[in-house]
Structure 1
């Protein structure tokens, strides 16, 4: 009797399992058919609104006016650079962002592609908003921004952010001592910024950078997880490892005074960074006590660190994409950040 019940129960379970599997397969097939039907239901290859791009698109109306007459200040406000700088940048990236005309339609010009990318960086507007302004498809705008940012980073980085040499470091040290009254200072590090979920309750990736006394970025490391601490990010980065291994072309130890001892060149950070022979941080507040010399040291170190704080302030004020959520995939976000940093250095030079 027990055996029969067990057999009946097993048959019932098998039947139930088979029924569930059949229902799941049916649901998958229906979903696939609906998705295919939705794709085939595309009304037109190009939206009627976008057909008039050459007559009513922002690039073909407003930009033409900005290039005419005495509108140089407006041109600069729009692109965050003057016309000469725009044309110079365009000449550098033109061949890498150029598309070929087809029998179906004419390719979007390289000037217009660059204009869309710069406007995205300057405003942080959504791809949809830029699509309406420039009379383009939203996905087209997204792809243009992604491609152009990638090319800007690849082309400009060797020019405006080359690997530092010993002579470059010595020039930076002199600038820090002259402008910020801090000797033997190479630069200041800073981090700006699930795996990417940080303590502020937002998803972020980290831009770790070294900045010189003139607000230019010397080295950047983009893409660390936002949840990690500043010290951990720095120690695990290629930048931090190069400094620790002595493979970063840093000058040899030198004397500050004629009769003093030899001291290493250093970078200066805040309390979040670990104390190293090549990295100085301020004394903690609880250890200051009434020691006036420690307070003066903290003040001088904090003063030197203004360079890096100012650099990020200028970067965000010029490229307002950093004042908003960057609603793209992490890989594209890295390209956007690197492109903005390279443009910052390029404009700081001219």
Structure 2
């Protein structure tokens, strides 16, 4: 071995010896090892005994309903203890998932209430949501016989005076953060990124069919045409009853689904007349149709107000957001049937004043963020658009006042600059007022 090789080896060895030994990262944080001490399970045990109302508020369901759900999904999510550590129990897996759906808080935030690492919470939430969808699959089901369809139609006729109606159809944009490298694929006409939830709803504010996951750029009509439900409807495979003669009438009309102008008019799909040149009869028809169709908007509103995960942008991938959305829909129907008296009350959704004929807005329109809800098309119902314009108008006024003060201070030594910017801001404010006046 020559001297050069010996020198090279010596240099390499010296370099290795000089390198400091890296400290090994912790396998688990010390406080996370004390999960039984710091977990929210201790709080839930106390709430179950002393404050049942707070227990329901924490998980969006009472203890009895929670126990039934836990019993159903436990076989799908239960893990075995190992010699290294005890597994996270099924009860805590379900409760942390329900808390995430109820609040939409980040996994990092939920770490401090559950004493579970955010990585584990992410896996737990997705596994539990899949289990919920699987175990509650019978709670969202399209009617399979003509008699079941007729029962749905009777509900709409009794509550909304709209005969032969098989369901109200609409879509809702579920707010998500822009997925990496997706460009404008998920960017919708409302100017945020979303996936679309399409649903058919009965007269009892329950989902008959849900489909989620299509990118927000697609219109409601395009989303509907891409579903298996639409294909079955086109191929006459839904076992829809034959047209019947209306009560107290000699007219024979088909059974129909109803939607807004975003959908195509077909034999079994009804939408309102265009808003120009309407006759008195056509206006009455539009009123009845939109009045009955608002039930799907109310259902979406209830869903958003109960499950806070819809009230902020979902940072997960579109596929995971789809699973979470479907899980909330199944839970909505589950709670609607199991807690029919306490899940929602009459003030939650829109109701009609029988004397004046006006629609009294439901509580969900006040509590749910308007930016995440569909624009309302209901007759005599305050438009969500006007609320959005109003909030935007207030924001611009605040910006104007702040900017005026800023420029006044910054350019106080030069009155000409100050006057110029104040005049510019004043003209901008007048333009916004003019535009807002047209919107209102």
Question: Which TM class, normalised by the smaller chain length?
Answer: 0.7 to 0.9
How far 1:62 moved relative to its partner? 1.1
Contact 1:221/1:239 (<8 A) preserved: no
Over residues 274-328 of structure 1, what are the superposed CA-to-partner deviations in whole Å (9 max), with x where a residue is unaligned? 111111111111232xx11111001000110121111111111111111111111
How far 1:258 moved relative to its partner? 6.7
Deviation above 3 Å: which 4+ runs of structure 1?
Answer: none
Q: 2:34 aligns with which of 46, 49, 52?
A: 52
Name the Cα RMSD after superposition: 1.4
Contact 1:266/1:277 (<8 A) preserved: yes
**1:338 equivalent in structure 2:** 326
**1:322 equivalent in structure 2:** 310
Q: TM-score, normalised by structure 1?
A: 0.84
Matches within 5 A, 1:249-264: 249-257=239-247, 260-264=250-254
Q: Which runs of 5+ in 1 are unaligned?
A: 1-39
Distance 1:262 1:245 in 2: 22
Distance 1:230 1:259 in 2: 34
**1:64 equivalent in structure 2:** 45
Tell me: CA distance 1:229–1:110, structure 2 relative to 1, closer, same or farther (3 Å).
Answer: same
Over residues 111-156 of structure 1, what are the superposed CA-to-partner deviations in whole Å (9 max), with x where a residue is unaligned? 0000000000001111110012111111111111010001100110
Q: Which runs of 5+ in 2 are unaligned?
A: 1-21, 174-183, 339-440
Q: 1:93 aligns with which of 61, 70, 73?
A: 73
How far 1:261 moved relative to its partner? 4.1
**2:228 equivalent in structure 1:** 238
Over residues 142-171 of structure 1, what are the superposed CA-to-partner deviations in whole Å (9 max), with x where a residue is unaligned? 1110100011001101x2113312222111
Over residues 35-94 of structure 1, what are the superposed CA-to-partner deviations in whole Å (9 max), with x where a residue is unaligned? xxxxx86511111221221112222x211211223x111111111111000000001001
Matches within 5 A, 1:1-350: 43-59=25-41, 61-69=42-50, 71-157=51-137, 159-165=138-144, 166-193=146-173, 194-257=184-247, 260-288=250-278, 291-350=279-338
The 3-state SS of whatever aligns with 2:44 is: helix
Tell me: CA distance 1:41–1:222, structure 2 relative to 1, closer, same or farther (3 Å).
Answer: farther
Over residues 89-114 of structure 1, what are the superposed CA-to-partner deviations in whole Å (9 max), with x where a residue is unaligned? 00100110001111110000000000
Higher relative contact order (CA 8 A, sep 6+): 1
